């Protein structure tokens, strides 16, 4: 098994004819992901990826003709919220929004509307997800992965890459690597991801990569303490030296009123049984220390 993406993923790429969309769609297809359609308004009837993928004007047409069940969005920030809503309205079950720079106020109603339709949104401003050996959706580099049984969830794309490479180098494979995005308003949280991993029979250990800002890590830690007590789990929190009131990197990475500090997150995670690393490269060793043998 895997979570969110796998061999049954039938992907439509919204914005496939743009520079970023075409580049990453090609990489996803080369990894083995089934890309069954692309969408660019006004370019319906054309093809992409050297004629291999039909392009449609709307997601509704793409779903009707191709049976797409997953979407990956490479649409500029001004149009991305509408692109998410279009995918949900067309019946897409899993929506990855890679686009960054979307105002938080624009995403608040979008997240609620997607949930109301029974779909799942990952992102925005996320790198996507990879289930090694099965499928990858988004921009995570394929070669860093190794098939295995460690679930990885992160707010940061680049830290995900570093942690996954370190695990692969140590011989620890991954079941699914998921980037949930670093914006203040996102569709899938750490808690959601932990619940998905807990239900996955092929995930035996968990790596959580968080950062300053918000309380998502603390919320996930409280749930893990009650439901993942016997699961080897490790974490890393970025931004330990960040000053209060200054945004660091992601839009959601800001300490406000003393809340959302690295110290509070580390404390909550350790209390829940996570071993917390000082750097991403320490994660494989801490997994071994937690009893995971891979």
List, for residues 264-277, the tens digit of each pLDDT value.
899 999 999 999 99
pLDDT score at 261 = 83
**C-alpha 267 chain-centroid distance:** 24
> What does CATH list as the number for 140-289?
3.40.50.261
pLDDT tens-digit series, residues 177-203: 999 998 999 999 999 999 999 999 999
Q: Which active-site residues does the annotation give?
A: 250
Q: Determine the Cα–Cα distance for residues 190 and 25; give it in Å rounded to an integer.
A: 26
Rounded to 5°, the CA angle 216-219-221 comes to: 110
CATH 3.40.50.261-classified regions of the chain: 140-289
CATH 3.40.50.720-classified regions of the chain: 10-122
> What does CATH list as the number for 10-122?
3.40.50.720
Lookup result for tokens 């990197």: 249
Q: Determine the Cα–Cα distance for residues 46 and 39; give it in Å rounded to an integer.
A: 10
Q: Determine the Cα–Cα distance for residues 8 and 230; give it in Å rounded to an integer.
A: 30
pLDDT surpassing 90 at residue 210: yes
The residues facing 234 across adjacent strands are 207, 275
pTM: 0.93
Contact 174, 284 (CB under 8 A): no
Q: Residue 95: phi, psi to the nearest 5? A: -120, 120
Tallying the residues shown for the chain, one arrives at 294
Rounded to 5°, the CA angle 127-130-131 comes to: 160
């Amino acid at each position: 098994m895997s979570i969110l993406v796998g061999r049954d993923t039938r992907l439509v790429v919204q914005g496939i004819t743009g520079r970023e969309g075409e580049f990453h769609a090609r990489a996803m297809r080369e990894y083995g992901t089934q890309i069954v359609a692309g969408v660019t308004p006004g370019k319906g009837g054309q093809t992409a990826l050297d004629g291999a993928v039909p392009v449609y004007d709307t997601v509704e047409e793409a779903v009707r003709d191709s049976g797409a069940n997953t979407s990956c969005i490479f649409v500029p920030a001004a149009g991305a919220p509408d692109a998410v809503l279009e995918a949900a309205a067309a019946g897409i079950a899993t929506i990855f929004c890679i686009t960054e720079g979307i105002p938080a106020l624009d995403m608040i109603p979008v997240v609620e509307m997607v949930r109301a339709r029974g779909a799942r949104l990952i992102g925005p401003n996320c790198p996507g997800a990879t289930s090694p050996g099965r499928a990858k959706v988004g921009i995570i580099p394929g070669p860093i992965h190794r098939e295995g049984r460690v679930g990885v969830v992160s707010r940061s794309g680049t830290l995900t890459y570093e942690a996954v490479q370190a695990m692969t180098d140590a011989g620890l494979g991954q079941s699914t690597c998921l980037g949930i995005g670093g914006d203040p308003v996102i569709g899938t949280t750490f808690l959601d991801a932990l619940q998905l991993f807990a239900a996955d029979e092929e995930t035996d250990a968990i790596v959580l990569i968080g950062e300053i800002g918000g309380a998502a890590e603390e919320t996930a830690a409280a749930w893990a303490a009650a439901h993942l007590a016997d699961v080897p789990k490790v974490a890393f929190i970025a931004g330990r030296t960040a000053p209060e009131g200054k945004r660091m990197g992601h839009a959601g990475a800001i300490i406000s009123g003393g809340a959302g500090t690295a110290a509070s997150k580390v404390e909550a995670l350790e209390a829940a049984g996570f071993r917390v690393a000082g750097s991403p490269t320490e994660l494989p060793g801490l997994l071994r220390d937690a009893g995971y043998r891979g």
